[in-house]
Chains A and B, each alone.
Chain A
């Protein structure tokens, strides 16, 4: 079955770059996503990448996809305290039913 893994914690200093990593097992996924969950709030989609792409950039965010290694990463440039949150990696499949699988989330702490 599908499985998505992430490291649970990451700490960085304000102004540094953050890199959050994710590995997945099912290579038939069509899209891969990064969601952000701030304290006490619901999940918000940050960005997503189609599985036939290897990179996507959106302002401070860069998503890299290595399909061979089934590895997805999210790089946040110039990390700010407002970036402190839990980041979830997710994959989806082109079929009906349970078609989204989420990782456990990485808690990013930004230190002043």
Chain B
């Protein structure tokens, strides 16, 4: 079946512009995660959605970052007034259950470059 998809695969934007990154999770997966992977770094947790519950936004680095998940499926991560330090690969993952022990399926990521 289809895996997690993300679009665009690459995005180059000018400093100060807003960008939207999209994630289509695997159908039926209730949990959705956004991570950021900077060059040579591990994964930095950004935000987590579980069903209709309020998202866990504890990892968002600033108020320029926001995310929504419509209808419990597709998610959009928005970065306003982008800065050069926002350049990274943004990874989305989904899983059947939110708690430990269930595999997270990762998308291929969106490589964001802020010039």
Contacts and interface: CB of A to CB of B under 8 A. Distances in A.
Q: Do A and B come from one complex?
A: yes
Interface of A: 4, 8, 29-31, 35, 40-45, 48, 50, 88, 92-105
Interface residues of B, number: 26
Secondary structure of the A side of the interface?
A: loop
15 contacts: A30-B100, A42-B106, A43-B93, A43-B104, A88-B42, A92-B99, A92-B101, A93-B100, A94-B100, A96-B56, A96-B98, A98-B48, A99-B48, A100-B33, A102-B42
A42 B48 contact: no
Given A29-B100, A30-B100, A100-B104, A42 B58 contact: no
A42 B100 contact: no
Interface in B76-107: 91, 93, 98-101, 103-104, 106-107
Contacts of B104: 43, 45, 100
B5 to A, nearest CB: 10
Nearest to B111: A40
Contacts of A45: 103-104
Contacts, number: 67
Interface string B42-85: 11010010100100101100000000000000000000000000
A44 B65 CA distance: 26
Given A95-B99, A96-B56, A42 B42 contact: no
B26 interface: no
Contacts of B98: 96, 99
